[in-house]
A and B are shown apart, each in its own frame.
Chain A
Amino acid sequence: MHSTAKAARIAGIVYLSMVITAPFSLMYVPAKLIVRGDATATGTNILAHEMLFRVSIIGDLVGHVIFICLGIALYRLLSNVNRTWALLMVSFVLVSAAVGFLNTLNNIAALVLFRGGEFLTVLDPAQRYALGMLFVRLHSQGNFINEIFWGLWLFPFGLLVFYSGFLPRFLGAWLMISCFGWIALSITALLFPSYYETAFRVAQPVLFSELAIMLWLLIRGAKVPSVEFATVEMKTV
């Protein structure tokens, strides 16, 4: 198999592993355990399904490791198109992963508070649960911040796909549009939080570009590369 085709398949497989693991920690577990505005119910749920919550924390961490691997895999695939843009793409991925790692601490802090302990007896249970809920919510806020970087890395990624000559241009354009979708969502969450859920629903068609490129890399892979073609194309940018 040609090295570019092989790099595309590897990137596709890594992407698939991220697409499988991420929704568990980002969507399934929060939907199952968090009761909005109700600290006691949320704390009780988390304590009743403590192992599930712990697995979601691990899943979160594993997801960020996979994201870094994906950045490197895509760098290997696309750095010949333009190394500067590929470097920018990986830089955004690294920031996002680092923020994600640190953000996981909020969920761990919430778990410590919900479980209680001798050093926490100075707080009555209602206060302890309220503080635990605050950390759960801060974890969500951390994800809103990270959405900026979930978007930003897609612009260089999309540009590189667009000019690669071995991946379809429409996917590159779609990825670049997704970049602005995520940024708009993050700004909506921070400035107009009450409109976030509506904005998230509306933005779905834009955000599916990552699923599309993942499937393309996995199923179709890369066409036989034409470095000269990509070089000429990038010169015209």
Chain B
Amino acid sequence: MNVIDNSQRVAAKVAGVTGVLAVAIVVFGNYVLLSPLIVPRDSAETARNIMAHQTQVRLALICFLLYSANVVVLLSALYVILRPVGPMLALIGALFRLVFAILWLLATLNLLGALRLLGTTPYLQVYQSDQVQALARLQVAANFDDYYVGLPFFGLAATICAYMWFKSGYIAKTLAAFGVISSAWCVISALVFLIFPNFNQIVNDYWFDSPMAIFELLVSFWLLFKGLGPFGVATALHRPEQTLYSKP
């Protein structure tokens, strides 16, 4: 049976809090603040909305930054929890999640580009307003692309973590198994979408990542309220070293 040390228990609470926060921040930033301003296939209307609600867009930017920082804390906590199960696999999972966090920051930069294009910057007056609006819409669209480039990495990270949850028995095995399936599905669907952009007309975009997001949220609540436990037979690949500050 795998020994759960104090640093893992603390990390589990941190992972629980940051996991819930991540979902709250990204839902608020993307769906409450940003999405209502974007009008599909109408760059002029989108531009007018963005300029009329600049502070709202900038708050969305702050949400995206906080989300990235939050993901870094989350991946560190998950690494600490899962390292005893398999150090190399835990590290690979953490690095995949890191790539996803970085792509969120790129999305933030694209939004800043859109704001600058639509602003009253003197040197951009050489462009017609419709040209500038089209360029700004391109920046907003790039924001969307950044997410779908990052999504396979998020899916891979979640698949690895779910597999390790399953092996460890730290959470219920049925939940971990759901995580493996939903995360692997996310990787496959995101890759298919990148190859065939019309794939989202067959399978709605929300079906790509929502099951995985639900899994991540359920794990976060599990860690917060139930903590780590031997929920099933633990098959640790590696016995943890006790850290300097952990309780014996």
Contacts and interface: CB of A to CB of B under 8 A. Distances in A.
Given A88-B76, A91-B75, A103-B109, A149 B61 contact: no
B113 interface: yes
A187 B62 contact: yes
Contacts of A167: none
Given A91-B72, A134-B113, A145-B105, A39 B123 contact: yes
A82 B61 CA distance: 32
B4 interface: no
Contacts of A129: 123
B84 to A, nearest CB: 12
Contacts, number: 108
B102 A95 contact: yes
Given A87-B79, A95-B98, A190-B58, A126 B109 contact: no
B129 to A, nearest CB: 14
Contacts of A186: 65
Interface residues of A, number: 44
B123 A38 contact: yes
Contacts of B156: none
Interface stretch (A50-58, A135-143, A199-207, A214-222): A135-143
B105 A141 contact: no
Contact of B69 (A83, A87, A133, A148): A148
Contact of B109 (A37, A141, A187, A227): A141
B121 A37 contact: yes
Interface string A172-197: 00000000000000110011000000
A92 interface: yes
A87 B123 contact: no
B117 A231 contact: no
A127 interface: yes
A130 B126 contact: yes
B127 A127 contact: yes
B245 A231 contact: yes
B6 to A, nearest CB: 9
B245 A82 contact: yes
A138 B109 contact: yes
Contacts of B77: 84
B161 interface: no
A213 interface: no
A18 interface: no
Interface residues of B, number: 39
Contacts of B68: 95, 148
Given A134-B116, A134-B124, A138-B116, A92 B72 contact: yes
A99 B75 contact: no
Interface in B8-64: 10-11, 55, 58-59, 61-62
Interface string A101-137: 0110000000000000000000010110110011001
B54 to A, nearest CB: 10
B65 A148 contact: yes
B204 interface: no
Contacts of B105: 95, 99, 145
Nearest to A232: B245
Interface string A14-57: 00000000000000000000000111100000000000000000
Interface of B: 7, 10-11, 55, 58-59, 61-62, 65, 68-69, 72-73, 75-77, 79-80, 94, 98, 101-102, 105-106, 108-109, 112-113, 116-117, 121-124, 126-127, 243-245
24 contacts: A38-B123, A80-B244, A81-B244, A82-B245, A83-B80, A84-B11, A84-B76, A84-B80, A88-B72, A88-B76, A91-B72, A91-B94, A95-B98, A99-B106, A102-B102, A124-B126, A130-B123, A134-B123, A137-B121, A138-B113, A145-B109, A148-B68, A187-B62, A231-B245
